[in-house]
Amino acid sequence: MSRKYILSIQGEGRGHMTQALSMYDMLVEAGHTVCAVILGSSGTRDVPRFFFDKIKCPIIQLQSPNFVCDKDNKSINITRSVTHNFKKIRTFRDSLKQIDFLMKEHQPDVVINFFDLLIGLYYRFYKPKAKLICVAHQYIYFHQDFEFPAGHWLDKAAIKFFTRLTSTGSSKNLGLSFYKIHTNNEEVVIVPPLLRKEIFELQTGKDDFYLIYLVNSGYFEEVLSWHKNNPEIVLHCFTDRPDKINSSYEFDKTKLFVHAINDTLFLEMMSKSKGLASSAGFESVCEAMYLGKPVMMVPIQGHYEQFCNSRDAYKAGAGIFSDSFDLSKLTNFSSTFDASNPWFKNWVANAKHRIYNEIISV
């Protein structure tokens, strides 16, 4: 039976966007209708062009509560985040009204939320009839067997509270995971990563360069510092402000290449690289794991989710974690890294089937 869906996405995380793209393709291929996509963001980060190119339905961008970084665009500033979001309460209220208009216009059967707070707030205050399904790695926090890093009790309580707010009114929560965890409660179902289809078509190699993904361009100075001390090693760096970096810094542009975010080029280069250095975003780490590439994870300062991801991915064998972009750690680690990971490929292989069955069962 064909259904109508609306997808809602936390637009500050590009992993949520690629997961939503995979979900969009899955639903359309199965004969369902995706009426609209709601993209919540702070407006400070550019939305990649590929997202608009691949979604063939209306995309509505709305202001949504999000973290605010420090002036150097590196660490998360909690005080500024709280103050900034409090000042925009009226804006967020208008966003909720726009969601209500869309819901009444399209009358969807199901809303699938990729960790955006607006939808959680909408279901809390408006209580619509459409079923809600929540999909993100963060919902693994609801599982009693997930191991949080020791300490950080306040951060742990805060992220679990925030995650619950995003899933208010949810009929089912799907927790994307690096590895299998037995589902033994009704609050969350653990499922494999929802990787984009292009990754399964890539041929892997090992060219003589390392790949870097900077969510926050403020970390480029650390990359540049390492590059100047190791000028013989070729680096390809993807970030959302390449023009500013290329014009603001002097460096050897035949050894250090700075690219704009491009999904196709990034995946192609990952498949050929000797390893990846990035913040500990769930999706990019999973892609590297599938391609058999070692990862050095540098969580954004103050970003507890990424701190948890880096420890969880380390446990899953993805690579190592670090407090800075000291790429010597990655180059040393990559020389002994075992790229064979059939267990992970087997885990990912039936992701589409398992996730689709969970979606249509609601």
Tens-place pLDDT, residues 214-266: 987 788 999 999 999 999 999 999 987 788 888 888 889 899 999 988 888 99
Q: Right CATH number for 198-346 from 3.40.50.2000, 3.40.50.300, 3.40.1350.10, 3.80.10.10?
A: 3.40.50.2000
CA-based nearest residue to 262, from 200, 213, 299: 213
Residue-level pLDDT at 140 = 96
Q: How confident is the model over 92-126, as pLDDT tens digits?
A: 899 999 999 999 999 999 999 999 999 999 999 99
Pairing of strands 295-297, 276-278: parallel
Tokens describing residue 174: 């799907």
Q: State what percent of residues in the chain have pLDDT above 70.
A: 92
Specify the domain boundaries for CATH 3.40.50.2000 within the chain: 4-195+350-360, 198-346
**What DSSP string runs through 20-86?**
HHHHHHHHHHTT-EEEEEEEEE-SSSPPPHHHHHH--S-EEEEE-----B-TTSSSB-HHHHHHHHH
Assign a CATH topology to domain 4-195+350-360. Answer: Rossmann fold (3.40.50)
CA-based nearest residue to 209, from 231, 233, 228: 233
pLDDT band at 69 (very low <50, low <70, confident <90, very high): low
Residue-level pLDDT at 354 = 95
pTM: 0.91
Tokens describing residue 126: 């408006």
Residue-level pLDDT at 72 = 56
Residue-level pLDDT at 91 = 85
> Average pLDDT for residues 201-223, to the nearest whole number?
91
Is the per-residue pLDDT at 82 higher than 70?
A: no
Residue-level pLDDT at 45 = 62
